[in-house]
């Protein structure tokens, strides 16, 4: 008789499904006006998101049954395969331009965003190196330089699209993994100084990024231009009050806030559910990250530990950036809210990544 697989961590699964369900509700609530106007189908975005959610959940449960050590064997394949997809995006006729960035590859009626797959590929690749060369990974010559080269290589290719937001998430995730790996703190001081200089150079080199910084500092200086989106986001959050206007009663989704089902979905959550509802969503994310931290502390396998650290930090960085943008604390970057914003590639890859965490949880007593 075949041995029964150990149980997955049900709390992690429940939290992921809860956040995804709330995301589906608000994709429908925030998009049906725009979907009806543009596609003559109020459920256009919802149906596509529901399809990818179904694929993602099935994939997550399937991945949770695949023993995670296999990813160590194929880490290089995942990394270089994702890198090839990133490069293919830059080829005219293959890559699709959306929002001023060539970040998509069209497949029939659907499209994929290779940078989402690269997040997973980079995490697996770094986790393998750090767990295989435990002591070398902490040194400058044998650890920091090769790992930093991989991180900056990916960042450079993504910036050719350009997709500054995804690039920053990948760099941030890589740096968190380096920190957890045990790279000396003094090296991070050099990283920060170099990074600040690089970000300043990137902002100066692209006028639209400078406009976003200006809009961030004073959105009302250009209320119908670069500051429009953040102003409309604040107009959505402010009237929400303590309990909100009620589910489905948002005003800003009536063509005020552009495509609210994507990057600014949290603004609609704040408007319809108010402060209480917004905090409730944040608590779900915090509980999910706390549970991931628990799993990190409980596992003795370094490879597993670094995988969970990478996935958790990637999602945490996205949540902090997205909500920071929505409430006006950060400049607009185009980062989606994990498990909630509309986007098939993002939702599917996130759920598959959580599937790996669930598999790792099977090995924890």
pTM score above 0.85: yes
Tens-digit pLDDT profile for the chain (365 aa)?
345 667 889 999 999 999 999 999 999 999 999 899 888 898 999 999 999 999 999 999 999 999 999 999 999 998 999 899 888 888 877 777 776 667 777 665 567 788 888 888 999 999 998 888 877 667 777 777 888 888 888 888 888 887 788 888 998 999 899 888 888 777 777 777 777 777 777 666 666 666 777 777 777 777 777 778 888 888 888 888 888 888 888 888 888 888 888 889 999 999 999 999 999 999 999 999 999 999 999 998 999 999 999 999 999 999 999 999 998 888 888 789 999 999 888 899 899 999 999 999 998 87
Domain with 199, as residue range(s), is: 10-361
Cβ(325)–Cβ(263) under 8 Å?
A: yes
- Alpha helices, DSSP H, located in 64-163: 69-73, 75-89, 114-132, 145-159
**Residue 62 burial (10 A CB sphere; 0-12, 13-18, 19+):** exposed
Return d(Cα 122, Cα 320) in angstroms, integer.
Answer: 20
Is 5 a member of any domain? Answer: no
Total domains present in the chain: 1
| Cα(308)–Cα(306) distance, integer angstroms | 5
* Per-residue b or e along 323-335, where b marks 16 or more CB atoms closer than 10 Å to that residue's CB: bebbbbebbbbbb
Assess if residue 3 is contained within a domain. no
Cis check for the bond before 162: say yes or no (omega within 30 of 0): yes
In a domain, 2, yes or no: no
Residue 29 has a pLDDT of 93
pLDDT of residue 110: 66
Q: At what angle do helices 207-217 and 185-205 cross, to 10 degrees?
A: 100
Examine residue 1 and state whether it is found in any structural domain, yes or no.
no
**212 lies in some domain:** yes
Buried b (16+ CB within 10 A) or exposed e, 174-190: bbbbbbebebeeebeee
The pLDDT, as a whole number, for residue 99 is 62
What is the distance between the alpha carbons of residues 133 and 356, in angstroms, rounded to a whole number?
22
Query: What was the pLDDT predicted at 235?
Result: 87
Q: Could you tell me if residue 101 is inside a domain?
A: yes
Choose among 364, 359, 365: nearest CA to 311: 359
What's residue 288's pLDDT? 97
Within a domain: 221: yes
Whether residue 4 lies inside any domain: the answer is: no
- Contact residues for 329 (Cβ-Cβ < 8 A; gap 6+): none
pLDDT value for 3: 54
Residue entry with tokens 């990948």: 170
Instruction: Give the per-residue pLDDT at 323.
Output: 93
The whole-angstrom separation of Cα 357 and Cα 61 is 11
Q: Which stretches does DSSP call E strand in the chain?
A: 95-98, 101-107, 110-112
């Amino acid at each position: 008789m075949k041995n029964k697989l150990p149980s997955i961590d049900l709390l992690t699964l429940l939290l992921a499904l809860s956040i995804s369900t709330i995301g589906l509700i608000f994709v429908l609530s925030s998009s049906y006006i725009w979907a009806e106007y543009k596609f003559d189908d109020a459920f256009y975005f919802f149906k596509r998101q529901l399809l990818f959610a179904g694929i993602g959940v099935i994939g997550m449960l399937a991945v949770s049954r695949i023993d995670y050590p296999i990813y160590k064997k194929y880490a290089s394949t995942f990394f270089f395969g994702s890198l090839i997809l990133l490069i293919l995006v830059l080829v005219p006729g293959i890559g699709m331009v959306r929002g001023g960035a060539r970040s998509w590859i069209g497949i029939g009626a659907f499209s994929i965003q290779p940078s989402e797959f690269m997040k997973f590929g980079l995490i697996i690749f770094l986790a393998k190196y750090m767990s295989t060369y435990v002591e070398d990974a902490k040194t400058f010559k044998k650890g920091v330089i090769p790992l930093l080269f991989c991180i900056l290589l990916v960042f450079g290719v993504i910036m050719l699209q350009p997709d500054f937001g995804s690039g920053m998430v990948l760099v941030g995730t890589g740096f968190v993994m380096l920190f957890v790996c045990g790279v000396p703190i003094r090296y991070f001081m050099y990283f920060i100084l170099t990074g600040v200089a690089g970000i300043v150079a990137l902002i100066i080199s692209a006028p639209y990024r400078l406009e976003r910084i200006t809009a961030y500092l004073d959105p009302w200086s250009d209320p119908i231009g670069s500051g429009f989106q953040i102003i409309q986001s604040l107009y959505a959050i402010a009237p929400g009050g303590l309990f909100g206007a009620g589910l489905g009663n948002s005003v800003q989704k009536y063509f005020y806030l552009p495509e609210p089902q994507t990057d600014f979905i949290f603004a609609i959550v704040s408007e319809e559910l108010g402060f209480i509802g917004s905090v409730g969503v944040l608590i779900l994310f915090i509980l999910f990250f706390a549970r991931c931290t628990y799993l990190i502390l409980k596992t003795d396998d370094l490879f597993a530990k670094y995988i969970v650290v990478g996935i958790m930090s990637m999602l945490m960085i996205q949540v902090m950036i997205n909500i920071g943008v929505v409430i006006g604390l950060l400049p607009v970057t185009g980062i989606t809210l994990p498990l909630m914003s509309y986007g098939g590639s993002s939702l599917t890859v996130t759920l598959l990544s959580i599937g790996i965490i669930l598999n790792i949880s099977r090995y924890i007593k």
